[in-house]
Amino acid sequence: MKYQPISSELFSGNREKLAKLLSPGAIAIFQSNDLMPTSADGLMPFVQDADLYYLSGIDQEETILVIFPDFPDDKMREILFVKQTDEHIAVWEGHKYTKQEASEASGIKTIIWVDKFEQVLSGLMAEAQEVYLNSNEHIRAVVEVETRNARFTKWCQAQYPLHNYRKVAPLMHELRAIKSRSEVQQIATACDITEKGFRRILEFVRPGVAEYEIEAEYLHEFIRNRSNGFSYEPIIASGDSACVLHYLENNKICKQGEVLLMDVGASYAGYHADMTRSIPVGGRFNKRQRSVYDAVLRVKRAAMEMLVPGNTIQKYHHEVGQLMESELIGLGLLDRTDVKNQDPSHPVYKKYFMHGTSHHLGLNVHDVANVYRPLEPGMVLTVEPGIYIPEEGLGIRLENNVVIQSDGVLDLMKHIPVDPEEIEDLMNA
């Protein structure tokens, strides 16, 4: 790992919270992610299952976590199973956790090699009344590859068919929606690294540079600051490409007179930043670009004020839509007749602002949470309105990451330039 070690107190605290939500006599079992193949003997970079990481801090494949709060032997109430290394693995793959290192990282005292898991599980299941198993229940998930958790669920239910099985995902969604102080600090660090990348870009961008060169500049700055790299595939979209919401080619040359939209974020210690900025390639916005930029910025600032405890995502998105409707009328993109005659289920503002304004952020970029749950202090969300005008070759989106508090949001990106005059000054310094 490139990041600085995190205190095991974070993960121990997370396990304690989960243990309180389990039913009496229940056991919960979490599997790591697989190493994913590309083709031939190639492998993708390993990304840990977010729930297992949240509960253990272990960033390694072939890891299993068992939590059994009511087991008679207190040494077996938390067990971490990790891959046993050998000389061959050490030479070809590098260092793996020792038992002591795994214990120090996770705060779990009982560490067992993973090849003993089935043998140990037999004794645990004999005492278990219910079994909580994990699955990916993110409402936007598209899962076409069978995961390690899914394979284990089928095996466990076949091996122990008379147990009662329950879903642990709703409990994890409940817990992970509220970030601890330590988690907020990790996200803040990811935001700080993202700021460094953006400031580097403001000095670098000029007419004639390629989008992929800008991507490379970000990556350089992220990695040199202990990031694992991008939180997600970066969007570096100049001109009309900014109107493609998930533009990923990043292969065009940036031209004088265009606006460059960049949706990027650094990953740090498993946590993510998610920033969007739109800048003038030539260093100055023209009048029309500035008008659209100012409209988006006004909506962003107003939206941040709406993120208060008790509000709901559904109500909030509706209120932001009304703000955007007014701005689009002011820009001449809509008129009041359009609004008067619109179908309320398909508001006309969505022609130019077709995505949501906010989503939860944390160990996943689109973090798990119940979207019908009212906002609470400790939730971390993005704020990202945008206006996209394909006929003008112009797309502008602005995005910050904020923490819900009882007295207004904490803006984790308040130090990242967003004021148009400041951006122009930095680009022309």
Measured CA to CA, the distance from residue 222 to residue 267 in angstroms comes to 8
Q: Is 419 a catalytic residue?
A: no
Q: What is the pLDDT of residues 105-153, one digit of tens each?
A: 999 999 999 999 999 999 999 999 999 999 999 988 888 899 999 999 9
Work out the pLDDT band at 85, boundaries 50, 70, 90.
confident
Report pLDDT for 144: 86
CA 337 vs CA 3, 282, 324, 341: distances in Å: 54, 37, 16, 6
Q: Is 95 a catalytic residue?
A: no
Report pLDDT for 88: 84
The active-site residue, picked from 138, 226, 298, 366, is 366
Q: Where are the alpha helices (DSSP H) in 22-147?
A: 50-56, 87-92, 99-106, 117-125
The active-site residue, picked from 41, 391, 407, 419, is 41
| 214 within 8 A of 253, measured Cβ to Cβ | no
Q: Shortest CA distance to 401 belongs to which of 267, 275, 229?
A: 275
The active-site residue, picked from 246, 288, 318, 415, is 246
Q: Shortest CA distance to 13 belongs to which of 136, 108, 111?
A: 108
The active-site residue, picked from 49, 78, 221, 274, is 274
Q: What is the pLDDT of residues 376-400, one digit of tens each?
A: 999 999 999 999 999 999 999 999 9
Torsion angles phi and psi, residue 287, rounded to 5:
-60, -45
| 396 within 8 A of 242, measured Cβ to Cβ | yes
The active-site residue, picked from 78, 183, 211, 263, is 263
Report pLDDT for 219: 98
Quickly tell me which residue has 């008129």 as its tokens. Answer: 335
Q: What is the pLDDT of residues 304-340, one digit of tens each?
A: 999 999 999 999 999 999 999 999 999 999 999 988 9
Q: Is 233 a catalytic residue?
A: no
**What's the whole-number average pLDDT of the chain?**
96
Q: Where are the alpha helices (DSSP H) in 234-347?
A: 287-306, 313-330, 336-340
Handedness of CA 324, 330, 333, 338 (dihedral sign): positive
Measured CA to CA, the distance from residue 214 to residue 200 in angstroms comes to 10
Q: Is 146 a catalytic residue?
A: no
Measured CA to CA, the distance from residue 363 to residue 10 in angstroms comes to 14
CB contact burial 99-132 (16+ within 10 A = b; e otherwise): eeebbebbbbebbbebeebeebbeebbeebeebb
Q: Is 366 a catalytic residue?
A: yes
The active-site residue, picked from 77, 272, 277, 397, is 397
Out of 69-78, 82-91, 92-101, 317-326, which region has the weakest mean confidence (pLDDT)? Answer: 82-91
The active-site residue, picked from 59, 367, 384, 424, is 384
Q: Is 367 a catalytic residue?
A: no
Q: Is 388 a catalytic residue?
A: yes
Q: Is 335 a catalytic residue?
A: no
Q: Is 305 a catalytic residue?
A: no
Distance in angstroms between the alpha carbons of the first and the last residue of the chain: 36
Q: What is the pLDDT of residues 284-309, one digit of tens each?
A: 999 999 999 999 999 999 999 999 99
Q: Is 70 a catalytic residue?
A: no
Tell me how crowded residue 83 is: count the other CB atoms within 10 A of its CB. Answer: 19
The active-site residue, picked from 77, 148, 359, 360, is 359
Domains present along the chain, CATH in parentheses: 8-176 (3.40.350.10), 181-427 (3.90.230.10)
Decide: pTM greater than 0.85: yes
